[in-house]
Amino acid sequence: MSKPLLITPRCFPNNFDLIRFVLASSVILCHSFAIYLGYEKFLVTEPFMVWSQKQISIGSVAVDLFFIISGFLIVKSFESTANTVDYFKKRVLRIYPGFIVAFTLSILLVGFIGTGEQYNWEGYKQYFNSLFIKKELVHLFTLQSPYQRIFFKDSPEPGVNDSLWTIQFEFICYILVPVMAWFGYFKKKWVLITLFVIFYLLTWLQSLGYIFPFNNKIHLFFGNLYFLPRFITYFLGGACFYFYRAVIIRSNLLALLSCIALYGSFVWIKCIDQALPIAGSYLLFYLAFHNSIRFHNFAKHGDLSYGIYLYGWPIQALVMFYLKEYINPYSFFLIALPIAFIAAYCSWHLIEKPFLLFKNSKKSAASLSKSQINETVKA
């Protein structure tokens, strides 16, 4: 009798919608500590930073797991797409419309509020004239956080939408997929594993301080490239699980060992960067395709995880601006999350979903069913 597989052959149904929602919410929890306390106090108070002995925050764990899911789903999408042009059309339509609106609202509306100046037309003109429009446009179209740091200066952690910086690295990973396919790496699966091992080792050496030391240097067209090996590692990890889905077995023992490895990397030996790409990936897919955990229709009213990520920080900045004397990090989170949920719901139905209808040029918007749209989003 053959052993059950970790991942179902069709990769569906799954619990990715619920998992992504939880991960996006975890980022807001993390930022509740960062924005409320500032970075220095954040290092010694944020729960995962304390638990992991300052190795990693819950927000960083969430982002890493996002990249694993992305590697899995994006490679799956690439395989099912007719050509590279259609592939990039899908990726652009999924990322850019929501990003452009969130970025623009952050700069033109939320940023103005965060200056604390007089809220009238003259004050707005002065604010607008102080913006470096050309540099902001570069950051907009290269998928980075807003360029300037004039927003919410009185906050312990200023900035109008600093969480956007990871989106550029996500898109860089999207670009890598057709490049790897062009070199034939998807036909030779051992090459993909080799690439994962190479970047895994690079991230390991980097975490130990042997190569690519950390610096805060930000380029006009690129974010901090220090993080690139890390994100490629997790993205390739998800891709490897997709390509080897026919041989990776589902095992309660392996899931338990993964839990032990992660727990040990937090509290016994500081090696979360070494444990999370492998043990974290196994646990993620173990839960995503678990027979007894069935949240397959979680996103039937809309995939809100991207919108929560896009609008979480500016909403938290506003909550902090108006209520800082009445909140703590946990109440901050409880106030900001439902507002971000509403913003994400509006983003999905007014911006993201309408643009997704253009993904398939051979079908009219009216002919796409709700299930087809939801399946497209997961890609």
> Residue 249: beta bridge partners?
5
Q: What is the pLDDT of residue 365?
A: 41
Q: What is the pLDDT of residue 211?
A: 83
Question: Do 288 and 19 contact (CB within 8 A), yes or no?
Answer: yes
Q: Where are the alpha helices (DSSP H) in 54-164?
A: 58-79, 84-105, 111-114, 121-130, 133-141
Surface-to-core class of residue 25, CB atoms within 10 Å of its CB (0-12 exposed, 13-18 middle, 19+ buried): buried
Q: Where are the alpha helices (DSSP H) in the chain?
A: 16-37, 39-45, 47-51, 58-79, 84-105, 111-114, 121-130, 133-141, 165-182, 189-207, 228-243, 252-267, 272-275, 281-288, 305-323, 329-347, 353-356, 370-378
Q: What is the pLDDT of residue 215?
A: 75
Residues in the chain with pLDDT < 70? Answer: 1, 360-379
Give the model confidence (pLDDT) of 95-145 as tens digits. Answer: 999 999 999 999 999 999 988 777 888 889 999 998 999 999 999 999 999
Surface-to-core class of residue 181, CB atoms within 10 Å of its CB (0-12 exposed, 13-18 middle, 19+ buried): middle
Give the model confidence (pLDDT) of 28-62 as tens digits. Answer: 999 999 999 999 999 999 999 999 999 999 999 99
Reading the block at residue 202, the tokens are 């690079």
pTM of the full structure: 0.93
List the chain domain ranges.
Answer: 16-378
Q: What percent of the chain has pLDDT over 90?
A: 74
